[in-house]
Structure 1
Amino acid sequence: MHNILLLAIIVAFNISNAQVSDFKTIDFTKADNTAKINQGHSLENLPLLAYKLTHNLTTDVEKLRAIYTWVSTNIKGDSNQDEKVIRKRKKLQNDSIGYMKWNNQYKKITFKKLLKHKKTICTGYAYLMKELCFTAHIQCKIINGYGRTVASNIEALELANHSWNAIKLNNKWYLCDATWSSGYMVSGAFFVRDYNDGYFLTEPLLFGRNHYPLEKKWFLNDTLIQSEFIAAPLIYGETFKHKIIPIYPETLNTIIKKDDEISFRFKALNAVSEGNISLIQFYGVSAIPFKVYDLKNENGWISFKYRFKHKGFYDVHLKIGDDIVATYTIEVTKG
């Protein structure tokens, strides 16, 4: 069964990765510099902003890049709006019509705050991307669905809580998330700017690990479209920075017997030094590494093994350098 699953993932990866490789030869320096030159530009005239971001660029992907970089580095997340929307979603989760009515009214407030204060929630980021792309003659859609984080939709898809974009370039669709590229919230209280390029034109198999669209066709990957939700290992912004796709264990929670050998496997879309790969657990604030063995790197398909010799529950974390990129829970039972 494991071999069948792995084969399906390899095939799915080879198909979807063909999309993002279209732009490997594109140098985004000019697009990024254009976004920087227009740092702080007003949102009161969106056609003017779109013109300034794109008129000196020749290809649609460069124009998209300038728009995306500008949105991700000029718009702040709004924790107050975010909390208000989450509370209302929970309150009306069994009343879709009631929530839709409330949401249509609240969108007006959201967009007004966005234009005036450059603060918003995911809907505002996705809306701004769509409007600027429309002015630049780039086809862009808002995709609504479930964002899976350490705080939501962990074991099941319970609350549709996120929006992102699909963009059509050269007759193909691609995926972007300007919200999660822009930074992150600390304790739900304040926003930290921290641009993460990993959510720009992301490989669909990776993007689909924590973005679950309401319309499954927007996975842009046949394997994901045909599959059901799996409570997979938790992944983080750093996972996207390093472009890591966890493959096995397939689920967040795994049960094994004491002294059983367990394999870990992932795909690295960027080059990774074997010396930077580790598996750890925390004791307090101290990170304790496991002594993994049989580490292999075959064209970015990386695997290693470990044998748990004591029963208990283990929260284990895959690290690349100093960054945690995946978390698993291992229950070791008596042999």
Structure 2
Amino acid sequence: MNKHQSIILIFLFFIGFLSNAQSDFTEIDNRVANIGLSHKDELAKKITSGFNTDLEKVRAIFVWITDNISYDFELYESEKLQKEFYVSENNVIDMTLERKKAICSGYSILFKKLCDDIKIECKIINGYSKQWLDSFVSKKVSDHAWNVVKIDEKWFLVDATWASKNEYSKERDEFWFMTKPEHFVYSHFPENENWTLLKNGMTKEEFDLLPAITDGSFFEDEIKILIPHEKVIIVDTTRIIKVELQTKNTERWITLRGYPWETYATKNNLEFPSNDEYSKLSDEEKNKYSLLIPSVEIIKKEIVGNKIIIEARLTSENIKEFDIVIEGNSIATIKVNLK
């Protein structure tokens, strides 16, 4: 077994409980829900008033930010706006609170500011992120920012950006509050490797080998991918693949989803008609251009004890990768090379 295989086995297939050092924060969350905006230098005290421990105060800050600051897509896409914003950290904080929107740097700067104001040690961590769309991209330049915060002499990871409510998600994603380092590293890698907070560390090259996993349910159900063993597999001419999972919840809906998606037209190199031509087609003819053809066909699925075993056939010669999907969420992406 080579070094890369060992890394994947250790980090991908030996996953324990999701216990992010979290408690029941219902009372804190409910109190913070009623706190409005105030001057930046008074905000931290206002948010944390009445809370005693550092954990309670950090939780209050996290909840206030993720409830009140949404993702700023306009800023993300505009270099002009970014030049106006990023004059200084103070200006970033002012603009974030004024607009009630931010990108990752704004979230992390504000989070640190509020922790600093109540004497809780916090740092901004710049690094590399990956989600399923860029799972196989080895980034050369860091593209994300998050925080580490010290509570009771121990550092914890927090990503207020990915946790925040937004136009696509009305619920806070609790997975990103005090996330376990061995889970966080499936999607975040710091410029300074020490801030992975992993006991045995990890290199950027090792991080690039891991699949992108951003769904906490993967860890909640103690899912282990037993087969395939690697993130890139070679498929022989039978086009048969096997996926074997171990999980404590075998009742979850699990399927495989291949990419790229295809239609009859794309498979047969048909030129897409003009809008006028398309409108005159029969429903059957329209389906040739609009109806998606699965590129992975599940032949057999069986449950044996705490294992789910799936046998499937790749039905497209253009398939590049497939996702292992649980309850509609991709938890791992496997790249395929066809013989």
Shorter-chain TM-score tier: 0.7 to 0.9
Please name the residue that 2:122 is paired with: 140
Q: Deviations over 1:52-107 (max 9, x none)?
A: 3223233322221111011011012222321245999xxxxxxxxxxxx9996365
Secondary structure at the counterpart of residue 23 of structure 1? coil
Please name the residue that 1:207 is paired with: 184
Please name the residue that 1:68 is paired with: 62
Please name the residue that 2:74 is paired with: 80
Kindly state the Cα deviation for residue 225 of structure 1 after the two structures are TM-superposed. Answer: 1.9
Q: Does structure 2 conserve the Cα–Cα contact (< 8 Å) formed by 1:197 and 1:241?
A: no
Please name the residue that 1:126 is paired with: 108
The alpha-carbon distance between structure 1 residues 275 and 266, as it changes in their structure 2 partners (threshold 3 A), is closer
Q: Does structure 2 conserve the Cα–Cα contact (< 8 Å) formed by 1:78 and 1:119?
A: yes
Larger Rg: 2
User: 2-side partners of 1:105 and 1:231: how far apart?
Assistant: 36
Higher relative contact order (Cα pairs below 8 Å, separated by 6+ residues): 2
User: 2-side partners of 1:87 and 1:157: how far apart?
Assistant: 24
Please name the residue that 2:196 is paired with: 219
User: 2-side partners of 1:294 and 1:224: how far apart?
Assistant: 37
1:53 equivalent among 28, 47, 57: 47
Please name the residue that 1:319 is paired with: 325
Identity of matched residues, %: 26
Secondary structure at the counterpart of residue 82 of structure 1? helix
Please name the residue that 1:274 is paired with: 251
1:34 equivalent among 27, 31, 54: 31
User: 1-side partners of 2:298 and 2:163: how far apart?
Assistant: 31
Kindly provide the amino acid, as one letter, of the partner of residue 33 in structure 2.
K
The alpha-carbon distance between structure 1 residues 192 and 320, as it changes in their structure 2 partners (threshold 3 A), is closer
Q: CA RMSD in A?
A: 3.8
Secondary structure at the counterpart of residue 39 of structure 2? coil
The alpha-carbon distance between structure 1 residues 313 and 305, as it changes in their structure 2 partners (threshold 3 A), is farther
Pairing 1:233–2:211 present: yes
Please name the residue that 1:257 is paired with: 236
Please name the residue that 2:337 is paired with: 331
Kindly provide the amino acid, as one letter, of the partner of residue 23 in structure 1.
A
User: 2-side partners of 1:290 and 1:79: how far apart?
Assistant: 38
The alpha-carbon distance between structure 1 residues 86 and 262, as it changes in their structure 2 partners (threshold 3 A), is farther
User: 2-side partners of 1:77 and 1:119: how far apart?
Assistant: 5
User: 2-side partners of 1:13 and 1:265: how far apart?
Assistant: 15
Q: Does structure 1 conserve the Cα–Cα contact (< 8 Å) formed by 2:324 and 2:333?
A: yes
1:290 equivalent among 294, 298, 301: 298
TM-score (norm 1): 0.73
Q: Which runs of 5+ in 2 are unaligned?
A: 263-290
Please name the residue that 2:311 is paired with: 306
2:160 equivalent among 154, 174, 178: 178
Secondary structure at the counterpart of residue 230 of structure 1? helix
Q: Does structure 1 conserve the Cα–Cα contact (< 8 Å) formed by 2:85 and 2:91?
A: no
Q: Which runs of 5+ in 1 are unaligned?
A: 89-100, 186-190
Q: Does structure 1 conserve the Cα–Cα contact (< 8 Å) formed by 2:182 and 2:198?
A: yes
User: 2-side partners of 1:206 and 1:22: how far apart?
Assistant: 9
The alpha-carbon distance between structure 1 residues 231 and 225, as it changes in their structure 2 partners (threshold 3 A), is closer
Q: Deviations over 1:170-195 (max 9, x none)?
A: 2221111100111467xxxxx76552
Q: Does structure 1 conserve the Cα–Cα contact (< 8 Å) formed by 2:250 and 2:303?
A: no
How many aligned residue pairs are there? 301
User: 2-side partners of 1:319 and 1:233: how far apart?
Assistant: 13
The alpha-carbon distance between structure 1 residues 264 and 174, as it changes in their structure 2 partners (threshold 3 A), is farther
Q: Does structure 2 conserve the Cα–Cα contact (< 8 Å) formed by 1:181 and 1:199?
A: yes
User: 1-side partners of 2:19 and 2:292: how far apart?
Assistant: 40
Please name the residue that 1:23 is paired with: 21
User: 1-side partners of 2:140 and 2:213: how far apart?
Assistant: 18
Secondary structure at the counterpart of residue 37 of structure 1? coil
Q: Does structure 2 conserve the Cα–Cα contact (< 8 Å) formed by 1:166 and 1:174?
A: yes
**Bigger shift: 280-289 or 29-38?**
280-289
